[in-house]
Structure 1
Amino acid sequence: MGRIAKEVAGQTLCFIGFVGICICCGIPMWRVTTYIGANIVTGQIVWDGLWMNCVMQSTGQMQCKIQDSIMNLTQDLQVARALVIISILIGFMGMLLTFIGGQCSSCLKNESSMAKVLILGGILCIVAGVLLLIPVCWSAAYTISDYVSVTTIQTQKRELGASIYVGWGASAFLLFGGIILCTSCPPRENIYPQYPGMYPYQGPVYGHQYAPSTVYKPYHPPVAYTPAPRQYL
């Protein structure tokens, strides 16, 4: 798989995961319960969410109540509020950085800087996935333990809602997308940086014989001058 294909695949997975975080935060279906009393008219479906609780009657009427105080929530949902909001913010920053550092954008010209920005965006997406996975798993464990408890009234028992499954899927998309982005383009640094007036050291080359550019003659010492004898007539 080419570099651009891996970047597009990672960005697509991270975008799907980011949309999943928003859905998980918005819909009030972290816990769902369905119970029917002695009369069929008393059948109700109760949804518990981070921001509101909804009750749907068997007649089709729905009533929702916004959670005015965070203290009315259970401990797992209180933590989920904070972590999900932080996950949305970090995921948005990660998505923004992945588009800035991608090959398809022209925001950055240096290839090394683009790779570093893209890897940073992938790391932020991984962090967002982990932050979403913590409250989702905690809420699922709390719901299951409360359901199997013998002290819980039958009409108050809750089951896992759609937000839990959406949260698990969004976390998986963010984790896989972030990993793909982090491994798509590692930055390549120059081992010998070039500076003005400086050149990298070139070691000896073996196995090649180069002809010298200039042929040097052997050195001969100067000969002493001896004057020839004069001849007289």
Structure 2
Amino acid sequence: MDPVIEVVALILGFVSWVMVGVTIPNRYWKVSSLDGTVITTSTLYENLWMSCATDSTGVHNCREFPSLLALSGYIQASRALMIAAVVAGSFGMVATLIGMQCSKAAGDNYVLKGRIAGTGGVFFLLQGLCTMISVSWYAANITQEFFNPLYPGQKYEIGEALYIGWASGVLAICGGACLMFSCKLGTKEKAYYQPTRETVYSASASRRDAQSTYGRNAYV
């Protein structure tokens, strides 16, 4: 495995993991602007955990969702997927750090290190997929309600947290793909170009036997 690809994949995975941590507590998953109306509240915004409002004086008031079971199904699923993304990213970071060639955790067994790094790539891919599914599902419900003329409730627009989530998912998928494909290519190269100790020993023994046999035949 190329050490440069390992470092690039680790950086991409780490940045995506941090961005997931920024996306989850961000309050602006969906935003509604009510400027210019007679209502005191000027802006409403929500995330997976609470609903907030900002009046014309700049005062923020937030209220956590009272019941998990009372929430919509897509919000519950988005919560679970984002938490799964954080967990998968954590495992991916640990596996990638252990599987890097500069790491001494697995000794000099580069085949084992490559497999561990490849496992880290799988975790990064899972993180990216969970994040993309979560934010895309949430955004699809926002747009569906926004363009539905018969929807009676308050309509919202896509907030900045979803864009951060999309960027995080793309970076995680790119990092995981780099680790997996580079690990596969590195394994093939090592299997083809680097013989094992047993192969070298048997080849040396064969050459010695051939030389000794040729020497005996020369004096016959």
Quickly name the TM-score band, shorter chain normalised.
Answer: 0.7 to 0.9
TM-score, length of structure 1 as denominator length: 0.79
- Matches of 2:32 and 2:191, distance apart in 1: 57
3-state SS of 1:44 partner: strand
Q: How does 1:100-119 map to 2 (within 5 A)?
A: 100-109=98-107, 110-119=109-118
Letter in 1 for 2:174: F
Match of 2:20?
Answer: 21
In the alignment, structure 1 segments of 5+ residues that lack a partner are: 204-209, 218-233
3-state SS of 2:123 partner: helix
Match of 1:73?
Answer: 71
Which residue among 212, 215, 218 is the counterpart of 1:213?
215
- Matches of 2:18 and 2:126, distance apart in 1: 16
- Matches of 2:8 and 2:84, distance apart in 1: 24
Shift of 1:36: 3.0
In the alignment, structure 2 segments of 5+ residues that lack a partner are: 207-211
Which residue among 20, 37, 54 is the counterpart of 2:52?
54
Q: Residue 168 in 1 paired to residue 154 in 2?
A: no
Identical counterparts, % of pairs:
27
Letter in 2 for 1:65: R
Does the Cα contact within 8 Å between 1:36 and 1:42 map onto a contact in 2?
Answer: no
Moved more, 63-72 or 184-193: 184-193
Structure (1/2) with the larger helix percentage: 2
TM-score, length of structure 2 as denominator length: 0.83
Match of 2:145?
Answer: 146
Does the Cα contact within 8 Å between 1:34 and 1:43 map onto a contact in 2?
Answer: no
Letter in 2 for 1:176: C
Does the Cα contact within 8 Å between 1:27 and 1:49 map onto a contact in 2?
Answer: yes
Does the Cα contact within 8 Å between 2:41 and 2:53 map onto a contact in 1?
Answer: no
Moved more, 99-108 or 186-195: 186-195
Letter in 2 for 1:133: M
Q: Which whole-Å deviations, capped at 9, do the CAs of 1:128-185 have from their partners, x for residues lacking one? A: 10011111111111110100111124x7100001111111000000000111112334
- Matches of 1:184 and 1:62, distance apart in 2: 49
Does the Cα contact within 8 Å between 2:14 and 2:93 map onto a contact in 1?
Answer: yes
Distance of aligned partners of 1:102 and 1:152 in 2 relative to their CA distance in 1, 3 Å threshold: same
Does the Cα contact within 8 Å between 2:106 and 2:112 map onto a contact in 1?
Answer: yes
Tell me which structure has the larger Cα radius of gyration: 1
- Matches of 1:171 and 1:59, distance apart in 2: 36
Q: Which whole-Å deviations, capped at 9, do the CAs of 1:158-213 have from their partners, x for residues lacking one? A: 00011111110000000001111123343344898777xx958x99xxxxxx9921
Distance of aligned partners of 1:37 and 1:147 in 2 relative to their CA distance in 1, 3 Å threshold: same
- Matches of 1:144 and 1:29, distance apart in 2: 15
Shift of 1:43: 4.2
- Matches of 2:123 and 2:79, distance apart in 1: 19
